[in-house]
Amino acid sequence: GSFEEILQYTKESDAYFRRAKLGKARKMLTDKDLKGEAVLMSNAVTFDLIGINRASRPGKENREDQLRYLEELKKDIAKFLELEKTIVFE
């Protein structure tokens, strides 16, 4: 997508995905220690989105940085998803 579209995407992803989805998922965790770890993972997603956003701003467009932060974002989301198997449903 265009740099402008990517800027919009990062804003929407932060509001919808990170806050709503990761926040809700974090509350489902049953292990207290993992809840703290999940907060750190959620924060990592925030920093990844900020990195993509910065690399998309007018005058600072940098496709290489966008892709680097995108890879970090994928890794951080994958780590977060690994926590799902720790949830104990009663």
Residue 29 DSSP symbol: -
- Please give the residue that has the higher pLDDT: either 28 or 45: 45
What tokens appear for 18 in the block? Answer: 């990170």
First to last CA, the chain: 43
Q: What are 49-67's pLDDT values in tens digits? A: 999 999 999 999 999 999 9
Residue 57 DSSP symbol: S
The distance from CA 57 to its chain's CA centroid, rounded to whole angstroms, is: 19
- Please give the residue that has the higher pLDDT: either 14 or 68: 68
Residue 30 has pLDDT above 90, yes or no: no
In degrees and rounded to multiples of 5, residue 60 shows phi and psi of -125, 15
